[in-house]
Structure 1
Amino acid sequence: MKTGTHRLLQELTTQVKSHIEYAISLEKQTEKPLNARITPDSWSILECIEHLNRYGNFYLPEIEKQINSSHSKPEAQFKSGLLGNYFAESMLPKTKLNKMKTFKNMNPIYSKLDKSVIQTFISQQKKLLTLLENAEKVSLNKTKTSISISTLIKLKLGDTFRFLIYHNERHIQQAQRVLKEVWF
């Protein structure tokens, strides 16, 4: 995938802002529907959001560290790496969602959760907006970040942003489906 750097950052920023809006709308719900499950082994809305918080706990400090230590200059174009593009594209929600097994430490199922999970998510998303803004000053191609499954694997910053935000979108849509099922 090849695209304009500014365009990519704008698209990702728009997506993050919509995630914040959705999370704010969830705050109006009582905890009962937020903790409800469609099936006994599926995630509740709060578990979907907690899962995203756990990824944010790794990626946000990693992205910030790499942006702050980067001496690269921004380029007009971002060209996705082979592995980074694969990871990012695999996170995009599809009509028939491909189920993925999550790592044990990232799986929040049966956790006792309250609405503070939503506040944490909103805070993380606001931080992500700041990081997207700061990323305009560095190369999305040359600045590399580790990934949560192995610090030995490095992705281009642009691909890391895409992976993280597409992953958020995937689970926001999952939460929306759960809420729809719970209410209807």
Structure 2
Amino acid sequence: MRLYNELVAAWGDLFSLPLTVVLMILGALAIGLLWYFWPSWWHGLLGMRLRRSREGKSGKKKSAIREVTDAEIEEVVESEEELPNVDAAVFAALADRLAAQGRYAEAVRERLRAMVRELVDRGVITHHPGWTVTELASAAGSAAAPVAPPIDAASHLFSDIWYAKKPAQSEDDNRMRALASQLHDAMAGSSR
């Protein structure tokens, strides 16, 4: 207790009470701003690393990724449909945007919607409004065995977050991104 009293007395000798209050408010404001904007910084840096890994030494992208417009993303956000009829890349872009904002549960949901859209677009399953994720995974696994592991894992991850109320983390979004990639690869391999 004596050390605390001495520290407070030393602080009081250096700084007046009004200045201390102003410094505390500025410190709290700085921490709040850093907390609010930090996820977008992190994902911006992560995105730069991912872009560099996709690009070879020549600087060209290894895979052709369709550019998604803000209007397409807004169409999905404003839609009341369970699975709007847009390209899977739009759902993935929306998921990236949500993850950059730290909204990982919503990002996981959008990545699952992208996976479902890809399954529907490739004719693996037919979209049935109102399906549970378990029914979706079962139908996809029955229709094409190679897609069963990633879609099953994705449906479990989604259920844990949305139904079991597990707090979503960036690792969950990264896992869902990896599962979407596995699903895409499985469908590309089965169509050959």
Higher helix share: 2
Higher strand share: 1
TM-score where L is the length of structure 1: 0.34
TM-score where L is the length of structure 2: 0.33
Relative contact order (alpha carbons < 8 A, sep ≥ 6): 1 or 2 greater?
1
